[in-house]
Chain A
Amino acid sequence: AQTVTQSQPEMSVQEAETVTLSCTYDTSESDYYLFWYKQPPSRQMILVIRQEAYKQQNATENRFSVNFQKAAKSFSLKISDSQLGDAAMYFCAYRRVNTGNQFYFGTGTSLTVIP
C-alpha cells in the first residue's frame, strides 16, 4: 500500500507570514496525482491544490503553492500571507493513475495562525 507521511503534527505561523507544510510519499509509480486538503473546525474537507506527477511545473492557487520534488517524493505546501482563516488541519493525499480512485491520506498537520 502507498504510504503518505506528514511529519509535522502541528505547525504555527504568524498572520501575514509564510509557512510550509511537508509531505512525503512512497511509490514505485511514475505517474500519479497529489493533493492537499484543508479541514477547518467545521470538519468539511476542502481541496486546496492538486498536482499531476508528470507535470514539472509546481501548482499554484492564489496564496497556496506546492514544491513538488519528484525524485525526493516530496510534496510540500506553502501558504503565503497567512490569514486567520487558514487555521485548519491539512491533509496530503496520493492517488495512483488508472488503478481505481482510491486516495491515500497522510495523518494531517494542524496549523495554527497567530494574530
Chain B
Amino acid sequence: DAGVIQSPRHEVTEMGQEVTLRCKPISGHDYLFWYRQTMMRGLELLIYFNNNVPIDDSGMPEDRFSAKMPNASFSTLKIQPSEPRDSAVYFCASSLQRDHYNEQFFGPGTRLTVL
C-alpha cells in the first residue's frame, strides 16, 4: 500500500485566498484525522471522520476552516479566506477500527505558508 497520500506537499498563498488540502487515506481504513502542527501549539487535532461522517470537529479553529469526506478514499480541508496565522504543517492520518491498537498512519504533511 502507498500509505496516506497528501497533496500538495507545499502550498504558498496570499492572505485572503482559498486553500484546499487533500488527503487519500489507506485503503480500507475507516477513520480519518486532520491535524495541524505549529511550533507554538504543537500537534492539534482539527477534526476526525468515521466512515466518512465527521465525529468531532471541536478542534477546527473557526468558520474559515471546513473539512469534507465525500467518500472513503478522499478528504479535503479547506481554509477560506486564509490568514498568515494559518501557516503550519497540516497532517492527515488514517486508522482501522478493527485493528487492535487502532494505530494512526500519517501522511507526509502539507506545509502551508500564507503571506
Contact = CB atoms under 8 A, between A and B. Distances in A.
Interface of A: 33, 35, 37, 42-47, 50, 52, 91, 95, 100-103, 105-108
A27 B48 CA distance: 22
Interface residues of B, number: 24
B12 interface: no
A51 to B, nearest CB: 9
Contacts, number: 50
A44 B43 contact: no
Given A43-B109, A44-B108, A105 B43 contact: yes
Given A45-B106, A101-B33, 14 more contacts: A33-B102, A35-B101, A35-B103, A50-B103, A52-B101, A95-B102, A100-B50, A101-B95, A101-B97, A102-B45, A103-B104, A105-B42, A106-B42, A107-B42
A102 B48 contact: yes
A42 B108 contact: yes
Nearest to A42: B108
A33 B101 contact: yes
Contacts of A95: 102
13 contacts: A44-B106, A45-B91, A50-B103, A52-B101, A100-B50, A100-B56, A101-B50, A101-B97, A103-B33, A103-B45, A103-B104, A105-B42, A106-B42
